[in-house]
Structure 1
Amino acid sequence: MELDHPEVIAQVTAAFEAYEEALVANDVDRIVGFFAGDAIRFGLADQQSGRAEQERWRRAEPALPPGRRLKDTTIRGYGPDVAVVTTLFGYPGRDVLGRQSQTWARLPEGWRIVHAHVSEPGG
């Protein structure tokens, strides 16, 4: 298995950055479009199974607080079709950094998140 192939890293980096832009903009259609139809997502106090559940949840939730920042983002490729993204995230005025991990898979429609996990220390 080839690890961290430059093309995989570049493609997933672009997809992850586009996802983050959609997340910060609270563009629900774009956000859920980055997920595979059967993706699982575990949030801080929620979980969704599948794109339809995530879309319902996203539409009911408020937008993220302004000023989201990322720290220590790492993207690792595992062969030509799988990558894992991990990052820390925070907001102005908060000392706590949250944790976010995503497993991305190359599907016929492109790179999609198949599993995501968001947590905070002690949560």
Structure 2
Amino acid sequence: MELNNPETLRQVEACSDLYERALAENDVQVLDDLFWNGPEVVRYGVGENLYGAEEIAAFRRSRKGGSPPRRNLRRTITAIGNESAVVSLEFQREGSDRIGRQMQTWIRTDNGWKILAAHVSLMAARPETERPAL
């Protein structure tokens, strides 16, 4: 297995850039097209757990105004062979000092690169080392 094939990294970076533009513009059709269209896809959001393409699409259409505007702070892409990759992104929403995290697992399909799993979260106000564990 090869990690970080340059061509695979370039392709996934372009898809990640497209996703970020579509998110900023609330282009739900492009966002839908970038996700795997099947029951296997999962998206864990800040306030929701979504299973399957239909739930994810319904969420996007019901969210008024789309995703809150944000500034991306750091992105890491790790290609796993030529068929999959993980995109890890740190962001900060406008008007907030909290750091958000987004991870996406991308897979190469006959219809291009698709997101198979995604997770979005906001960091706690203090690290767990500074507060008792729950």
Question: In which range does the TM-score fall when normalised by the shorter chain?
Answer: over 0.9
One-letter code aligned to 1:6: P
Hey, what does 1:94 align to over in structure 2?
A: 96
Greater share of strand: 1
Cα deviation for residue 93 of structure 1 reads 2.1
* Correspondence list, 1:62-77, <5 A: 62=64, 63-66=66-69, 68-77=70-79
Q: Distance in 2 between matches of 1:59 and 1:120?
A: 22
Tell whether 2:87 aligns with 1:85: yes
* Correspondence list, 1:25-64, <5 A: 25-38=25-38, 39-62=41-64, 63-64=66-67
Aligned partner of residue 37 in structure 1, secondary structure: coil
Tell me if structure 1 keeps the 8 A contact 2:74–2:89: yes
Q: Distance in 1 between matches of 2:124 and 2:73?
A: 19
Hey, what does 2:15 align to over in structure 1?
A: 15
**Would you say how many aligned residue pairs link Structure 1 and Structure 2?**
122
Where does structure 2 lack aligned partners over 5 or more consecutive residues? 126-134
Identity %: 40
One-letter code aligned to 1:64: S
Q: Distance in 2 between matches of 1:108 and 1:102?
A: 19
| Structure exhibiting the larger radius of gyration computed from Cα positions | 2
Cα deviation for residue 106 of structure 1 reads 0.2
Aligned partner of residue 124 in structure 2, secondary structure: coil
Give me the TM-score of the superposition, normalised by structure 1: 0.94
Tell whether 2:120 aligns with 1:114: no
Q: Runs of at least 4 residues of structure 1 off by over 4 A?
A: none
Hey, what does 2:2 align to over in structure 1?
A: 2
Where does structure 1 lack aligned partners over 5 or more consecutive residues? none
Q: Distance in 2 between matches of 1:74 and 1:107?
A: 22
Deviations along 1:71-102, whole A, 9 cap, x unmatched? 11000001010100001111232110100000
Cα deviation for residue 30 of structure 1 reads 0.8
Give me the TM-score of the superposition, normalised by structure 2: 0.87
Q: Which has the higher contact order (CA 8 A, sep 6+)?
A: 1
